[in-house]
């Protein structure tokens, strides 16, 4: 993939002044790198050439923040290994707020009231179970607490969104807002029931093997407030794992942008591009980093949006006391809310910062079996098939003043943080800022091998349709069609080695 220099990235942004803010990174206390440090970074993050042994420091994917691997479901719930004793206490307080069950208002527990009136979950932890990956409903009796449908309709580009190049304008559904809530307080009907119907697809593999994929169809059933807008676009979302988010936030924007190749200049079929989104926190365009389409620029923004949309909790960034309730849902807007006391918001700035700190410091466990011959063979195949073109192995984070846990760490997240066209099979046909209906942000792969241990299942992709890592690979299309075909054509032993490598991450 074409790798422009930092200077060429700056030149590109200078030619598009509205995008210049994406390199400002006002959310980070950055200490600029020296030329010598930049040279060291380039050396340690270069793609490997020798696959006979593990690379130096590869076993510690989060650098000094890496923690030992636990053998139970708490493997994703540990604080950064390099956190101070005082900050570990802050982490635990944030964990308490992350796990807190919110209740309806009015209530005698003023610090916990304000739920809904429409909501998807009563706590952050109810979606991000054990800080791990959510899952689609297992059947009609499953409440699907870790999955929902986003919704929007086409809209005209306004003056604000016009500042972001290639912005694809959408608007909330006039009745249902921007996501569908499957729970409501007494007197407030739920907005819908999520119905999923699967079709099995057979995929023949080399060596006489066969894989089966399940193709989902999503229906917003039992609508509580009338029909959807005729142009409504729905997108299924399963809650992603929470580990390593602070380190992803600390990757220099210039290093991410340097991996972009929007016009496929080098002709390798890969044309990753950044999502540029509007920051309500800093009132400027910023690089999108979080969410399945990179729709949020910072962890604080992402946390605040989840409080408002998922739980109906007002906060300094999203202050509406009724959460996602629209003007068409008058009873919801008129209901009692938890910000009618001295706090001003249902979760105030201090509480939001504590949850953000907790999310920032959920640690990545150490790699397993990095020197195993089968894993090393799988790593070689991962690179040879082109997987590393999007799942970029390594970065070095910014040097940060006062944020030692994420400061100047060599990390191995296996993502480029960019948007890629994944083909019609995975398309949701719902744009988000610059992301089209066929594009998704490359998800980080660290921790995927511990998913079943932590979450009790092995479901992957944005909607949990893949029941194994092999199925996840076989759903790749678009820019990843060529690597997919190479995996299909592999001898069974090589496919097994590739999966063994992914399970070691």
> What pLDDT score was predicted for residue 143?
59
Q: Which two tokens stand for residue 387?
A: 């997987």
CA distance 461 to 240: 9
> What pLDDT score was predicted for residue 342?
64
Nearest to 488 by CA among 381, 373, 388, 375: 381
> What pLDDT score was predicted for residue 7?
37
Note the pLDDT tens digit of each residue in 205-233.
Answer: 999 999 999 999 999 999 999 999 999 99
SS3 100: coil
Confidence of residue 145 (pLDDT cuts 50, 70, 90): low
- 178 pLDDT above the threshold of 80: yes
Note the pLDDT tens digit of each residue in 396-421.
Answer: 999 999 999 999 999 999 999 999 99
Q: What percent of the chain has pLDDT over 70?
A: 92
Average pLDDT on 146-157 reads 90
Q: Could you give the dihedral angle defined by the CA atoms of residues 112, 117, 119 and 123, in that order, rounded to the nearest 10 degrees?
A: 10
Q: Could you give the dihedral angle defined by the CA atoms of residues 407, 409, 413 and 415, in that order, rounded to the nearest 10 degrees?
A: 70
Cα 431 off chain centre by: 16
CA distance 32 to 398: 8
CA distance 229 to 153: 8
Distances (CA, A) of 122 to 112, 126, 315, 394: 10, 7, 16, 36
Cβ contact 55:44 at 8 Å: no
Residue 107 DSSP one-character state: -
Could you tell me which residue, 51 or 159, shows the higher pLDDT? Answer: 51
Domain boundaries, the chain: 6-504
Q: Which two tokens stand for residue 446?
A: 């660290």
Note the pLDDT tens digit of each residue in 84-100.
Answer: 999 999 999 999 999 99
Q: Which two tokens stand for residue 465?
A: 């349709």
> What pLDDT score was predicted for residue 312?
96
SS3 497: helix
Q: What is the 3-state secondary structure (H, E, C) of 245-266?
A: HHHHHCCCHHHHHCCCCCCCCC
Average pLDDT on 433-459 reads 96
Q: Which two tokens stand for residue 180?
A: 């569908």
Note the pLDDT tens digit of each residue in 297-327.
Answer: 999 999 999 999 999 999 999 999 999 999 9
């Amino acid at each position: 993939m074409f790798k422009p220099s930092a200077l060429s990235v700056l030149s590109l942004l200078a030619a598009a002044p509205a995008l210049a803010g994406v390199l400002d990174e006002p959310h980070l206390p950055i200490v600029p790198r020296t030329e010598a440090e930049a040279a060291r970074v380039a050396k340690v993050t270069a793609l490997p050439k020798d696959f006979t042994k593990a690379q130096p420091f590869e076993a510690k994917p989060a650098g000094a923040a890496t923690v030992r691997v636990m053998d139970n479901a708490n493997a994703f719930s540990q604080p950064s290994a390099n956190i101070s004793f005082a900050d570990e206490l802050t982490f635990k307080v944030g964990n308490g707020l992350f796990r807190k069950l919110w209740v309806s208002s009015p209530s005698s527990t003023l610090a916990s009231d304000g739920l809904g009136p429409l909501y998807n979950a009563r706590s952050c932890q109810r979606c991000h179970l054990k800080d791990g990956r959510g899952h689609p409903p297992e059947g009609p009796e499953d409440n699907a607490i870790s999955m929902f449908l986003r919704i929007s309709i086409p809209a005209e580009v306004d003056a604000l969104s016009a500042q972001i190049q290639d912005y694809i304008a959408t608007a909330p559904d006039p009745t249902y807002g921007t996501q569908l809530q499957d729970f409501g307080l007494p007197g407030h009907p739920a907005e819908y029931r999520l119905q999923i119907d699967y079709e099995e697809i057979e995929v023949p593999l080399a060596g006489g093997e066969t894989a089966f994929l399940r193709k989902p169809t999503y229906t917003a059933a039992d609508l509580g407030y009338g029909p959807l807008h005729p142009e409504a676009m729905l997108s299924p979302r399963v809650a992603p794992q929470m580990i390593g988010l602070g380190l992803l936030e600390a990757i220099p924007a210039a290093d991410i942008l340097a991996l972009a190749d929007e016009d496929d200049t080098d002709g390798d079929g890969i044309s990753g591009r950044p999502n540029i989104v509007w920051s309500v926190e800093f009132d400027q365009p910023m690089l999108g980093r979080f969410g399945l389409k990179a729709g949020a620029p910072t962890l604080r923004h992402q946390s605040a949006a989840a409080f408002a949309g998922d739980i109906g909790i007002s906060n300094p960034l999203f202050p509406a006391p009724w959460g996602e309730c629209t003007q068409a849902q008058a009873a919801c807007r008129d209901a009692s809310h938890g910000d009618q006391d001295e706090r001003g918001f249902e979760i105030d700035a201090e509480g939001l910062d504590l949850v953000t700190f907790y999310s920032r410091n959920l640690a990545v466990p150490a790699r397993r079996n990095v020197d195993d011959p089968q894993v090393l063979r799988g790593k070689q195949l991962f690179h040879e098939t082109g997987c590393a073109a999007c799942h970029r192995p390594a970065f070095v984070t910014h040097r940060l003043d006062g944020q030692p846990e994420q400061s100047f760490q060599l990390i191995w997240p296996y993502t480029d943080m960019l948007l890629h066209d994944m083909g019609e099979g995975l398309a949701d046909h719902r744009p988000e800022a610059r992301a089209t209906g066929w594009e998704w942000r490359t998800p980080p792969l660290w921790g995927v091998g511990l998913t079943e241990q932590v979450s009790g299942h092995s479901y992957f992709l944005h909607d949990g349709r893949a029941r194994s890592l092999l199925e996840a690979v076989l759903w790749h299309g678009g820019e990843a069609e060529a690597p997919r075909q190479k995996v299909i054509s592999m001898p069974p032993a090589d496919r097994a080695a590739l999966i063994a490598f992914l399970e070691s991450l």
